[in-house]
Amino acid sequence: MKRNTKKLKIRLNNINKKEFKNKHKNINKRSTYIKEEYLYNLDINEEFFKSLRKDYLGFDSWFEKKQNKGKKAYITRTKDNKIGAFLMLKEEDENEDYSSFKKPFNPKKRIKVCTFKVIDKGKKIGEEFIKIIISEALKKDIEEIYITIFERQKALIKLLEQYGYKYYTYKITTKKNNTKEKELIYVKNLKNKIKKESEKK
């Protein structure tokens, strides 16, 4: 009986190691259904953007400005060709203004997650987006990533925490109807990961 138990433990350990390797070996690979698209090819009047327009005063003018600058985002589309998920990143430098934060950042290069929204559920798109964010930071040797997120977005907060994001501070955001709401700022530090990657080279 003891021999059988020992064999079972060995098998389970091997399975766990295999799952861990499979989970982390493809950090730079992107699922085929996620496409990088120019914003000027997207219709800002799609239903997908309605909640973003409601949550952020001046969203339309911000989006149009990014369209005119030729900015891109990662998107997925549903079977009826509607946007199902949207991820937009911004590279910031030491001159970025963080005065709206309750506890401002120190000056340094960062990746900001400008927009992270998924409505096409059940396809692990959120996890794929997080891999893309980390991959972009590693490619550019940027040690820190941050995202602003409303307290009510519990599922996204839980997902970010699972991937090592930690609460740092908050800011007050003005919404379309001129009411204000607290946005939490979550940060992920990649310093150790970048160090390990550079040691491999």
**Is 72 contained in some domain?**
yes
Domains in the chain: how many in total?
A: 1
Give the global pTM: 0.81
CATH number at residue 56: 3.40.630.30
Question: What pLDDT is attached to residue 33?
Answer: 86
| In a domain? residue 13 | no
Average confidence (pLDDT) over 97-124: 96
Tell me the average pLDDT across 41-46: 96
pLDDT, residue 126, reads 95
**Exposure letters 116-129 (e unless 16+ CB within 10 A, then b):** bbbebeeeebbebb
pLDDT of residue 76 exceeding 50, the answer is yes
> Residue 11 falls within a domain, yes or no?
no
Write b or e for each residue in 34-43: b if 16 or more Cβ atoms lie within 10 A of its Cβ, otherwise e: beeeebeebe
Establish if 17 belongs to a structural domain. no
Residue 98 inside a domain? The answer is yes
Q: Which pLDDT band, with edges at 50, 70 and 90, does 8 fall under?
A: very low
The answer to whether residue 25 sits within a structural domain is no
Higher pLDDT, 103 or 11: 103
Q: What is the span of the domain harbouring residue 147?
A: 33-200
Whether 89 maps to a domain, the answer reads: yes
Could you tell me the pLDDT band of residue 191, with boundaries at 50, 70 and 90? confident
Q: What pLDDT, on a 0 to 100 scale, did the predictor assign at position 151?
A: 96
Question: Which residues lie across from 88 on neighbouring strands?
Answer: 115
User: Per the domain annotation, does 80 fall within a domain?
Assistant: yes
pLDDT digits (tens, 9 = 90+) for 166-182: 999 999 999 999 999 99
